[in-house]
Homo-oligomer: A and B are copies of this chain.
Amino acid sequence: MDFENIAKTAKAASLKIADVSSDLKNKALVKIADAIEKNKLQIFEANKKDLQEAEKLVNSGDISLSTFNRLKLDENKMRDMIQGIRDVAKLDDPVNKNLFIRELDQDLVLYKVSCPIGVLGIIFEARPDVIAQISSLAIKSANAVILKGGKESINTNKTILTVINQTLDEIEGFPKNVLQQVFTREDVSEMLKCDNYINLIIPRGGNKLVKYIKENTKIPVLGHADGICHIFVDETADIEMAIKIIVDAKTQYPSACNSVETLLIHENFPDKNKLLAALQLEEIKLESNPESWAFEHGDTTLAFKTVKNINDAIEHINTYGSGHTDSIITTNKDNAEKFMNQVDSAGVYYNASTRFADGFRYGFGAEVGISTNKTHARGPVGLDGLTIYKYKLIGKGHVVKDYVDGTKKFHHKNLS
Considering the chains assembled together, what is the distance between the CA atoms of A108 and B393 in angstroms? Answer: 41
A275 to chain B, nearest CB (A): 14
Chain B CB within 10 A, most for which of A117, A244, A363 = A363
A306 to chain B, nearest CB (A): 22
Tell me whether B398 and A352 are in contact (CB under 8 A).
yes
A219 to chain B, nearest CB (A): 9
Other-chain residue from B217, B220, B374, B396 in contact with A117 (beta carbon distance below 8 A): B374
Cβ < 8 Å to B, chain A residues 376-402: 376, 378-380, 388-401
Considering the chains assembled together, what is the distance between the CA atoms of A399 and B356 in angstroms? Answer: 8
Tell me whether A375 and B388 are in contact (CB under 8 A).
yes
Q: Which residues of B are found within 8 Å of A376, using beta-carbon distances?
A: 220, 375-376, 388
A38 at the interface (CB under 8 A from B): no
A390 to chain B, nearest CB (A): 6
Given the contacts A117-B374, A375-B376, A401 and B248 also touching, CB distance less than 8 Å: yes
Number of copies: 2
Majority secondary structure, A binding face: mixed
> From A96, which residue of chain B is reached at the shortest CB distance?
B341
Cβ < 8 Å to B, chain A residues 329-377: 336, 338, 340-342, 344-353, 355-357, 361-363, 373-376
Q: Which residues of B are found within 8 Å of A318, using beta-carbon distances?
A: 15
Tell me whether B104 and A363 are in contact (CB under 8 A).
yes
Q: Which residues of B are found within 8 Å of A248, using beta-carbon distances?
A: 399-401
A18 at the interface (CB under 8 A from B): yes
> From A363, which residue of chain B is reached at the shortest CB distance?
B412
Q: Which residues of B are found within 8 Å of A190, using beta-carbon distances?
A: none
Considering the chains assembled together, what is the distance between the CA atoms of A362 and B100 in angstroms? Answer: 11
Given the contacts A104-B361, A217-B218, A346 and B400 also touching, CB distance less than 8 Å: no
Interface residue tally for chain A (C-beta within 8 Å):
73
Q: Which residues of B are found within 8 Å of A215, using beta-carbon distances?
A: 218
> From A351, which residue of chain B is reached at the shortest CB distance?
B395
Other-chain residue from B108, B217, B346 in contact with A352 (beta carbon distance below 8 A): B108
Considering the chains assembled together, what is the distance between the CA atoms of A390 and B253 in angstroms? Answer: 24
A210 to chain B, nearest CB (A): 14
A395 to chain B, nearest CB (A): 3
Considering the chains assembled together, what is the distance between the CA atoms of A346 and B118 in angstroms? Answer: 13
A41 at the interface (CB under 8 A from B): no
Q: Which residues of B are found within 8 Å of A395, using beta-carbon distances?
A: 349-353, 356
Tell me whether B19 and A399 are in contact (CB under 8 A).
no
Tell me whether A362 and B398 are in contact (CB under 8 A).
no
A245 at the interface (CB under 8 A from B): yes
Considering the chains assembled together, what is the distance between the CA atoms of A336 and B341 in angstroms? Answer: 46
Closest 3 CB pairs of A and B: A352-B395, A248-B399, A363-B412
* 18 more A-B residue pairs beyond the given contacts A118-B344, A252-B400, with a C-beta to C-beta distance below 8 A: A102-B363, A104-B361, A108-B352, A199-B374, A214-B218, A220-B220, A220-B376, A241-B396, A248-B399, A348-B393, A349-B395, A351-B395, A351-B396, A353-B400, A355-B399, A355-B400, A363-B412, A376-B376
